[in-house]
Amino acid sequence: MRSRTIGMSALATTALFGLTTACLPTGGGKAADVGRAARAAEQASAGATPPPAAKGKDKGTGVLADLSGAEILNQSYEAMRKVESAHVVAKMREDGQQMEFELSLDRKSGCNGVIRYEGMGKVDLIKSTDLMHFKGDADYWRAVAAKKHTPKKQTDAMVTMLADRWLKMPLSDPEAASMAHVCDLGKLLGGSSKPSPLARKGETVAIDGKQALAITSAAKEGTEVDYIATQGTPYLLKSTISGDETGEILFSAFGTPVDTALPEGADVLDLSKLGGGAPGESV
């Protein structure tokens, strides 16, 4: 089973680095050469395999204590497939570099949030029905320019124009479409994943103040631990992966509407009105 944690890191990295081809001068390398999809994270203590649960019912787990690990995961998967929106926070690490993202997403592929990559600043994203807006800070644009070997004078002018400014692209644009994948809630939640029949129940822990039962499964990348809410709907509250690849992702705000409106008074540059040229080509 492919970990949703690692899958999301690939989506987020594709979105982050996909901006380079849309907004830089031509020449110098391809965006695909900037870096591999981030696939690692700091291993939280919760990422270690939890001990087997004691016989009998854990306090607060209710009916889940009477089910097998696979049965609990199956119930959680079914509950998550019905989620219309969620807030997601994840942390990963690759080659000593930290990557973090925080996104609110819905089933209509609307989303907003931020992606941060150590050494590359941050990018804010807002995706509505037919538009993608993104905003990189000065560190982001300078790092992107460095990857493309852009001359300093041109880099400084580009940063002056683009840093902390919203850029707009229609989803019909191939670059915007590639970035939009990060807003796919269905892929993030695991799609048609099936629980491992060997999934094993662990201990009950608190995740953001809510009781959750740890379920350990074997994954392609190592060991995956999913933390399932024990009260009310058995939502997935947290998922970790440890082994060759490590990562952590947390879910919350289930069913909360996603705001895809731009901040009031935002300064927006419409890339579709630049006559096909990238912003960097005019500086």
pLDDT for 78-116, tens place per residue?
A: 999 999 999 999 987 666 678 898 999 999 889 999 999
Q: The domain spanning residue 155 has which CATH number?
A: 2.50.20.20
> Could you report the per-residue pLDDT of 112-158, keeping only the tens digit for each?
999 998 888 999 999 998 999 999 999 999 998 998 899 999 999 99
pLDDT at site 191: 59
> Could you report the per-residue pLDDT of 242-265, keeping only the tens digit for each?
877 778 999 999 999 999 999 888
- Phi and psi angles of residue 36, each rounded to the nearest 5 degrees, phi first: -75, 160
pLDDT at site 49: 39
Residue 253 lies in a domain: yes
Q: Supply angle C-alpha 213, 243, 250, rounded to 5.
A: 40
pTM above 0.85, yes or no: no
Closest CA to 227 of 43, 25, 64: 64
Residues spanned by the domain of 142: 4-263
Does residue 14 contact residue 115 with C-beta atoms inside 8 Å? no
Residue 216 lies in a domain: yes
Residue 269 lies in a domain: no
Residue 272 lies in a domain: no
- % of the chain at pLDDT higher than 90: 47
Residue 282 lies in a domain: no
Counting the structural domains of the chain, the total is 1
Residue 15 lies in a domain: yes
Residue 189 lies in a domain: yes
Residue 274 lies in a domain: no
For range 158-166, the mean pLDDT: 94
Average pLDDT, the chain: 77
- Residues pairing with 135 in the sheet: 124
